[in-house]
Amino acid sequence: MAAAVFRAMERPQPLAALLRDCVATLVHNDLRGANLGLVPGRTVVLDWGLAGSGPPELDFAWYVFVNGWRIDAAREQLIDDFKRAEGDLHDPRALELSWIAQLCWHGPLLAHELVEASEEKRERARAELAWWVARVRAALELL
């Protein structure tokens, strides 16, 4: 598993090409709590300085990585909510590829937490890593 992720990090072109083949839209590229404003009946997304083009699943996977542990809901519920909101536009393949991309992008942050953080943070990082490894393990067959 680690070798496959390191290969994707060292040579991202195959993963990037597969993501480019997915339906693209405007993506925020930094979708996290600090960039979300909640007002009655809607959510306002702030700070579009890193915006670009890509599959919306990539933004969602980023959001789950950065915020998933902070939300009082299982990640599977977040995924179900996302799929329901996307409806017919949801691309399961793009989501699988996005899990890989996010572990490549943020995995080193988890590694840092596993080594240099408090025991509480290490415990959370171990749980996060286990969840992401399970997701990515299933998705690696797409590469």
Residue 96: pLDDT over 90: yes
Express each pLDDT in 98-118 by its tens digit: 999 999 998 888 888 888 889
Cβ distance 15 to 101 under 8 Å? yes
Express each pLDDT in 41-74 by its tens digit: 999 999 999 999 999 999 999 999 999 888 999 9
Provide the residue range defining the domain that includes 133.
2-142
Q: Residue 33: what pLDDT? A: 86
| Global pTM value | 0.89
pLDDT above 70 as % of the chain: 100
- Number of structural domains (the chain) is 1
Q: Which helix (H) or strand (E) segment is 135 a member of?
A: helix 119-139
Cβ distance 19 to 101 under 8 Å? yes
* Residue 77 amino acid letter: Q
Q: Return the CATH number at 106.
A: 3.90.1200.10
Q: Residue 2: what pLDDT? A: 86
Q: What is the bridge-based pairing of β-strands 52-54 and 25-27?
A: antiparallel
State mean pLDDT over 84-98.
96
Q: Residue 72: what pLDDT? A: 92
Quote the tokens at residue 111: 């590694």
Q: Strands, DSSP E only, in 28-139?
A: 36-39, 42-45, 52-54
Cβ distance 142 to 96 under 8 Å? yes
Please list, in sequence order, all residues whose beta carbon lies within 8 angstroms of the beta carbon of residue 104, skipping any fewer than 6 positions away: 5, 8, 9, 12, 15
